[in-house]
């Protein structure tokens, strides 16, 4: 590896940085049952912005959007925010190797404010945090990850995307980046077709191993 090469590492948030997806599954499952008589809404919407969720799945009931939004905000204020095992150590290793890092999340700034209240250190861990407000299109469109590449002035060959949801994984692949799948939300065998490498967590993972994944992808 050329020591002068510049790499960007872009992380989805829920299920990738924080172990929160199981909590969201409970919330959105109940919303799906209560409003849509849908028993699987939580799986369909993962990785999408709230705006997209409303306009796609609740388009016939716009008068309910505000109520659902308030329920969601209350829920997020009371969630548990715990790091995926090994994440902080992995971030330290990335910084030692000069990688540029960002959160690329479909969550909005209001939700992230709740995260910062629980973990004030979060903004200092990353070079940038991109929330739903700055994207033109929701995952699985690659818009959010292409924005990360433009911001850090890296191309797809020097960009890594960490994702857990199918919509997020598809977004990463469409951007051309090397995609690392976290088997925190879906089974490893289910996400395997949508990523170049799979992790259960970040324990024993490192920048050097990340580069090895990239080299295998291009070999």
The predicted-structure confidence for 28-46, as pLDDT tens digits, reads as follows: 999 999 999 999 999 899 8
162 domain-assigned: yes
Tell me whether residue 1 is in a domain.
Answer: no
Kindly report, residue by residue over 109-145, the tens digit of the pLDDT: 999 999 999 999 999 999 999 999 999 899 999 999 9
d(CA 217, CA 219): 6
> Residues 130, 143: one domain?
yes
In the predicted model, what is the mean pLDDT of residues 175-180? 98
Assess whether pLDDT exceeds 90 at residue 14: yes
For residues 62 and 175, give the distance between their C-alpha atoms in angstroms, rounded to a whole number: 32
The token pair that represents 37 in the structure block? 């008589």
In a domain, 3, yes or no: no
Identify the domain boundary among 77, 108, 125: 77
Q: Which pLDDT does position 196 carry in this prediction?
A: 97
Q: Are residues 93 and 197 in the same domain?
A: yes
Res. 2: pLDDT tops 70: no
Closest by CA position to 185, among listed 170, 171, 172, 166: 166
Kindly state the average pLDDT of the residues 94-106: 97
> What stretches of 26-182 adopt beta strand conformation (E)?
100-104, 128-130, 159-163, 178-182
In a shared domain, residues 117 and 201: yes
- Residue 15 shares a structural domain with residue 31: no
**What's the confidence (pLDDT) of residue 186?**
93
Q: In angstroms, rounded to a whole number, what is the distance separating the alpha carbons of residues 92 and 81?
A: 20
> Based on the domain organization, do 114 and 66 belong to the same domain?
no
Average pLDDT, the chain: 94
pLDDT greater at residue 3 or residue 185: 185
Number of domains observed in the structure of the chain: 2
Q: Do 67 and 95 belong to one domain?
A: no
The DSSP symbol for 103 reads: E
Which of 30, 57, 77 is the endpoint of a domain?
77
Q: Which domain holds residue 50?
A: 21-77
In the listed set 77, 97, 116, which residue is the last one of a domain according to the structure? 77
Q: Are residues 47 and 62 in the same domain?
A: yes
| Residues paired with 197 in a beta bridge | 180
- Same domain flag for 48 and 150: no
Task: For residues 198 and 98, state if they share a domain.
Answer: yes
| pLDDT reported for residue 4 | 57
Peptide bond before residue 140 is cis, with ω within 30 degrees of 0: yes
Length of the chain counted residue by residue: 219
The predicted model gives 70-79 an average pLDDT of 92
pTM of the model: 0.90
Q: Identify whether residues 70 and 135 lie together within a single domain.
A: no
Classify residue 2: in a domain, yes or no: no
What pLDDT was estimated at residue 1? 42
Instruction: Extract the tokens encoding 15.
Output: 């299920």
Examine the pLDDT at 178 and tell me if it is beyond 90. yes
Same domain, 144 and 59: no
Q: Name the percent of the chain lying above pLDDT 90.
A: 90
How far apart (Å, rounded) are the C-alpha atoms in residues 118 and 165?
Answer: 24
CATH, residue 145: 3.40.50.1000
Stretch 84-107: mean pLDDT, rounded? Answer: 97
Percentage, residues of the chain above pLDDT 70: 98
pLDDT above 70: residue 216: yes
Same domain, residue pair 124 and 71: no
């Amino acid at each position: 590896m050329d020591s002068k090469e510049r790499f960007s590492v872009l992380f989805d948030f829920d299920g990738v940085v924080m172990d929160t997806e199981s909590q969201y599954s409970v919330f959105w499952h109940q919303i799906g049952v209560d409003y849509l008589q849908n028993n699987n809404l939580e799986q369909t919407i993962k990785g999408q912005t709230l705006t997209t969720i409303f306009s796609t799945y609740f388009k016939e009931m716009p008068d309910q959007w505000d109520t659902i939004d308030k329920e969601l905000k209350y829920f997020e204020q009371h969630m548990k925010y715990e790091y995926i095992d090994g994440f902080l150590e992995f971030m330290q290793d990335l910084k030692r190797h000069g990688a540029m890092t960002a959160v690329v999340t479909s969550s909005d700034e209001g939700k992230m404010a709740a995260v910062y209240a629980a973990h004030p250190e979060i903004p200092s861990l990353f070079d940038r945090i991109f929330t739903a407000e700055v994207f033109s299109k929701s995952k699985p469109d690659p818009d959010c990850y292409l924005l990360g590449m433009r911001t850090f002035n890296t191309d797809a060959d020097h960009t890594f995307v960490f994702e857990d949801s199918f919509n997020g994984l598809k977004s990463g692949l469409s951007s051309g980046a090397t995609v690392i799948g976290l088997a925190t939300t879906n089974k490893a065998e289910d996400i395997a077709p949508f990523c170049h490498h799979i992790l259960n967590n970040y324990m024993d993972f490192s920048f050097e191993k990340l580069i090895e994944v990239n080299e295998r992808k291009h070999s």
